[in-house]
Amino acid sequence: MQQAFDFPETAEPGSFRFNGAALVSDPSGALWWPAERCLVVADLHLEKGSSFAARGQFLPPYDSRATLERLQEVIARLQPKRVICLGDSFHDAEAGGRLSDAEKERLRALTSGHDWIWITGNHDPEPPRELGGDVLNEVEMHRLIFRHEAEESPEGYGEVSGHYHPKAAVRVKGRRFSRPCFAFDEGRLILPSFGAYTGGLDVLAPALRELLAPGFRVRLISARKVYAFSSEMLEPFGVPA
């Protein structure tokens, strides 16, 4: 369970600039673009619990409800015009059918009230169209490209993606904490997973170090705020607590 702990000496406002855009890293794990009234979330993995249950690994069957309640709260608070889901919104091809009727209606109400875009992911290359919204491989807005997994982009464009569920560990006042995080350099921004049952990959792991330039930054999610650290301040997950 995430500990409620603040790092006052490292606190920064949630807003930052990325490829010319003024963005906000929200404590929910969502990315907010105020000028475009655009909300971006990554890796909802709806119905991951029921997928695991089908294989004999039983988890409490409430992950989709918890994820959608959190998403609904962020949308009610920020009032976006557009919502972009960066792929792996559904844990597998049958996940949409396993949603309860109440969760389907909740999703239809959300998608019908906004310009809603499902980006395709490796878990959901064909998101269910009956729940509303448009399905696209990627979206380009004002020299930002939104896609599921990081890849090469044209010169001068910034990329916003998910897929890796980045987490980071930091030591403050002798105490060590690990949190989901936003990770970014000059041209690449990787969002944390928004889903209730999703783990995370250490930003210092080779897969992410190969994507992010030296000196990249992270914004760690706490219970109420987001805190900024440089990559030099991070510890690998294998370091003893």
CATH number for the domain that contains residue 170 = 3.60.21
pLDDT number for residue 196: 81
Q: What is the pLDDT along the chain (241 residues), one digit of tens a residue?
A: 333 444 444 445 578 999 999 999 999 999 999 999 999 999 999 987 565 445 555 555 668 899 999 999 999 999 999 999 999 999 888 888 889 999 999 999 999 999 999 999 999 999 999 999 999 999 999 999 999 999 999 999 999 999 999 999 999 888 888 899 999 999 999 999 999 877 799 999 999 999 999 999 999 998 788 999 999 999 998 766 5
pLDDT number for residue 237: 83
**What is the rounded distance in angstroms from the CA atom of residue 11 to the CA atom of residue 30?**
18
**How far apart, in Å, do the first and last CA atoms of the chain sit?**
16
| Residue 7 domain flag | no
**What is the rounded distance in angstroms from the CA atom of residue 183 to the CA atom of residue 219?**
7
pLDDT digits (tens, 9 = 90+) for 171-221: 988 888 889 999 999 999 999 999 987 779 999 999 999 999 999 999 999
Exposure string of 148-163, with b = 16+ CB inside 10 Å and e = fewer, is bbbeebeeeebbbbbb
| Residue 184 domain flag | yes
The domain total for the chain is 1
**What is the rounded distance in angstroms from the CA atom of residue 73 to the CA atom of residue 128?**
23
| Residue 105 domain flag | yes
Range of the domain at 188: 15-233
| Residue 41 domain flag | yes
The DSSP bridge partners found for residue 22 are 17
| Residue 240 domain flag | no
Residue 91 tokens, joined: 């844990």
| Residue 241 domain flag | no
pLDDT number for residue 12: 52
Residue 202 tokens, joined: 């250490």
**What is the rounded distance in angstroms from the CA atom of residue 119 to the CA atom of residue 149?**
10
Q: What percent of the chain has pLDDT over 90?
A: 72
| Residue 8 domain flag | no
Length of the chain: 241
* pTM across the whole model: 0.90
| Residue 162 domain flag | yes
**What is the rounded distance in angstroms from the CA atom of residue 203 to the CA atom of residue 159?**
17
